[in-house]
Structure 1
């Protein structure tokens, strides 16, 4: 192994040695502790320290790093107090996740480190969003994101590289090619000779680097950073290294051929760098021994602090209160005149005024710029707000959702438009596993609104007509909004954009141009989690949202003698149970009306809540009316049969007979 000092001073060379030695000695301590049962799980980075340390040391502390399982050197190079790391690994309160996640599944804004999720791929899209925020601010920063050779097979890897290339984002995509994805060797992971070659297809500069040579790593990152500051662009780096221990300690290395271990053992990054420094007279045996003792003392001292920390005491309130970031709703009342506009105009009006109100708000989606989106909602926005803030995206929903998270991490607000709600399935993972869980896991907000044009009645078939709110109402950490009227759409969208939590905002396509209402021309807000009581009566409670609100009104207009409470939920998560229960206790009969298919829809949960909380007030079973349990069809006759409009009338009249 050949080391080139270049322009580094002896002090800098020794500093790199201390930085690479510390994670090695911590790991050796952890291997003892895991055998003693004092640490539950450990992903060893022994043999790979040069990559994490070299990359992090070459960056400024204000630049974001997004590490993975085996990047302890990122955390120690950023000088996180060791007792906090030890508390994290023991699941104690002084860690970074309050015991809610383990090992390196955490981040910290204090040290500009963004933690991973086990699904790996979304990490790369987050880096795109962080780098986009830096590029918009022209602050000359770069973002470094780590991944393994196994995760390069995931779609998110390719989506993130493509976005970074198209948008010329200053991201260092770092592949730690350590030979194995858990037990699967590289020859079963990909067929190209080098992973760096994958950059060619995306027009990205790529390099192969000896991942065990800390000076080669440090010099290359330093050089690339200088280039990227002058000319923002992404770079793909493949670091050749080897994983000397198991995927995690419990898995062992029996599947690894002995010859590979014998080949890579002599290439140990710590031992080789130590020998270089000794041979150059930069380090002495005596100084080396002193450094060992200093670091070991620091480890023991900090382990004692963490070990003395009490175990976490769980409370219901503590857990539930951290699912969402606290949001202080600000009521803004309209003071201007109203104008009779369509539902779609209300959405457009909200986006326009919110873009003016929040200079850090970015809208992203397919064809939303010059074309104005599939429904022309953002038509003209590019002329008003510019292409930096109104961004056409490649067809890559997953990485764009993750990029929205990255924007949020780096001080921006993001709106992601799904061209159709059906297409959210390709962005499902980062919504339910990244956006939804980040605040609960490590206190990081996800200031992202995902707009969801949805619903049937337009003969658009199985892939453009779903109303899939139930995919998300089940997931703690998400808010789900589903307005039925223009006035509500504008006010609720304004509030959703203000809210720092992730919001799924459903917009029924059939309502876009068919429903009109008087809507104030200026900015106003409506609180989330508050239903609207549209009609009042004593005979029955009808609970609906979205298009079924209008269908219910049509049915009731045919039977003016029916005295019904008609509740428009408006928000599905949080749910206004107070309004629901008060109405049920008054009327004694309930129909829950949804457009989604019946089984597993939110109507089922509302029905269960009513049965649990209002059973003694019921005069008849709770009824649910929904679409058929089939995919939504295309032909009008089939779609009409699928949708529940006719069945609602039958159930309503039957229930009132009893």
Structure 2
């Protein structure tokens, strides 16, 4: 192995050795503890230390780095106290996830590290979002994110690189090509000679680096990091290396040919570098022994601190309270005159006024800039706010949601427009596994609003008509808002943007241009989780939301003799259970009307909650009414047959007669 010192000082050369030695010795200790049953799992990075240490050392401590399972050297080079790492691996309170996540699945703003999730790919999109925030702030920061060669097969890899290239984001995409994705060799992972060659397809600079040569890693990455700080752009780095342990210890390495293992053992990054330093006269056996004794003592002292720490204890109340970041509602009342506007105008106006209020708020979505979005909600926005804040995106929902999360981590709010709510399925993973779990996992909120144009009634067919709120009301950590009127839409959107938690904001397409209302012209807010009582009566409670609210109003207008409480939920998570229970206890009967199909829907949960909490007040079974258990058809007659609208009146009258 050829080592080139360049202009590196002797102090730096020795420092890099010590930085590599520490994670190697920690790992060797962890393997002993694993066999003793004192930790539950271990993902070994033995043989890959030069990459983590070299990359981390090339970045400043205030630059974000996003490591993977085998990057212990990132954490030790950032000088995280070892007892905190050991506590993390034992699920104790001095760790970073309060016992809620294991091993390296954690992040820490204190050390500017963002931990990965097991789905691997979204990590890259998060880095693109962090880099976008750096670019917008003009702080001249680089960002580095790791993945393995197996992770490059995921769609998120390609989406993240494409976004970073199109937007010229200052991020280093670091591939640790260690030969195997778990047990699958590279020959079955990709069909090109070098992964770095993929950079050409994205118009991206790329480099191949000997991942076992600490000086090559450190020198090259330092040079590139300096370059992208001054000239923002993404760079793809492929580090050729090998892991000497299994994917995790239970996996073993039987699938690796002995000759391959022997060849890479001879290239051990620490052994080779130690020999080089000794040849240069910078290291002796005695000095090396001193280093090892110092590290051994540090490991043992910190391990004892972790062992002595009490087992973590929590309560159900504490666990539940940490799912969402505390949100303090700030009421802003209107002081202006009103104007009679459409639902779509209220959304546009609320979004624009929030952009004016939050001068760093970013909107991202397909065709939202000059074109104004497919529904023209952001028409003219780019003239007022510019393309830095009103950003057209490539067609890659997953990477954009992940990037929105990265923006939030780096202190910038964002609103993501799904062109249609149906397309959110392509961004489902980062919503439910990054945004939703972030606060609970590592105390990091996700200030992201995802706008969801949804619903049937406009002949858009199976791929543009879903009202898929139940996908998200099921997921702890998400808030779900679904207004039915312009006044509510504008005020709730402002509050959703102010909220530090991720919010799915559903906007029914059929209401966009069909519903009008007098709406204040200035900025105002409305609380999430507070239902609206549209009509009051004594005979029955109608619970509904979205377009179905208007179906219920039409039915009641047609049947003025019906005395009903009509509850517009407005917010599905949090849900105004008090309003529901109060009404049902008064009327004794309840019918839940929704556009979504029935099974597994929000109405099922509301019905069960009423039965559990109001059973003794009921004079009839709770009735649920929903659309057919089919995809949504295109043809007008079939679509009308699909919807629950035409069946509501009969169901309501039947329940009243019970």
> Is the shorter-chain TM-score for this pair beyond 0.5, marking a shared fold?
yes
1:65 aligns with 2:30: no
Q: How does 1:175-574 map onto structure 2 within 5 Å? A: 175-574=175-574
Q: Per-residue displacement from partner, 1:602-656 (whole Å, max 9, x unpaired)? A: 0000000000000111111100010000000000000000000111111001111
CA distance in 1, matches of 2:473, 2:16: 49
Q: How does 1:50-89 map onto structure 2 within 5 Å? A: 50-89=50-89
CA distance in 2, matches of 1:281, 1:247: 37
Secondary structure at the residue paired with 1:591? strand
Given that residues 91 and 100 in structure 1 are in contact (C-alpha distance below 8 angstroms), is that contact kept between their aligned partners in structure 2? yes
Q: Which runs of 5+ in 1 are unaligned?
A: none
Given that residues 367 and 392 in structure 1 are in contact (C-alpha distance below 8 angstroms), is that contact kept between their aligned partners in structure 2? yes
Deviation at residue 285 of structure 1 after TM alignment:
1.4
Deviation at residue 314 of structure 1 after TM alignment:
2.7
* Alignment-derived partner of residue 31 in structure 1: 31
* Alignment-derived partner of residue 607 in structure 1: 607
Deviation at residue 138 of structure 1 after TM alignment:
1.1
Deviates more, 1:218-227 or 1:58-67: 218-227
CA RMSD of aligned residues (A): 0.5
Given that residues 360 and 411 in structure 1 are in contact (C-alpha distance below 8 angstroms), is that contact kept between their aligned partners in structure 2? no
CA distance in 1, matches of 2:295, 2:420: 55
Deviation at residue 231 of structure 1 after TM alignment:
1.1
Query: TM-score scaled to structure 1, two decimals?
Result: 1.00
CA distance in 1, matches of 2:425, 2:568: 27
CA distance in 2, matches of 1:318, 1:43: 30
Given that residues 333 and 525 in structure 1 are in contact (C-alpha distance below 8 angstroms), is that contact kept between their aligned partners in structure 2? yes
CA distance in 1, matches of 2:637, 2:345: 30
CA distance in 1, matches of 2:408, 2:295: 36
CA distance in 1, matches of 2:125, 2:433: 14
Secondary structure at the residue paired with 1:511? helix
* Alignment-derived partner of residue 583 in structure 1: 583
Given that residues 421 and 466 in structure 1 are in contact (C-alpha distance below 8 angstroms), is that contact kept between their aligned partners in structure 2? yes
Q: Per-residue displacement from partner, 1:88-109 (whole Å, max 9, x unpaired)? A: 0000011000000000000000
Given that residues 569 and 576 in structure 1 are in contact (C-alpha distance below 8 angstroms), is that contact kept between their aligned partners in structure 2? yes
Given that residues 122 and 402 in structure 1 are in contact (C-alpha distance below 8 angstroms), is that contact kept between their aligned partners in structure 2? yes
Q: After TM superposition, where is structure 1 displaced by more than 4 Å over at least 4 residues in a row?
A: none
Q: Which runs of 5+ in 2 are unaligned?
A: none
Given that residues 350 and 490 in structure 1 are in contact (C-alpha distance below 8 angstroms), is that contact kept between their aligned partners in structure 2? yes
* Alignment-derived partner of residue 107 in structure 1: 107
Secondary structure at the residue paired with 1:550? helix
Deviation at residue 360 of structure 1 after TM alignment:
1.6
CA distance in 1, matches of 2:625, 2:649: 10
Give the number of aligned pairs: 658
CA distance in 2, matches of 1:258, 1:425: 44
CA distance in 2, matches of 1:645, 1:234: 51
Q: Per-residue displacement from partner, 1:372-400 (whole Å, max 9, x unpaired)? A: 00000000011100000000000000000
Q: Per-residue displacement from partner, 1:323-344 (whole Å, max 9, x unpaired)? A: 0001111011111111111111
Query: TM-score scaled to structure 2, two decimals?
Result: 1.00
CA distance in 2, matches of 1:328, 1:653: 42
CA distance in 2, matches of 1:521, 1:577: 31
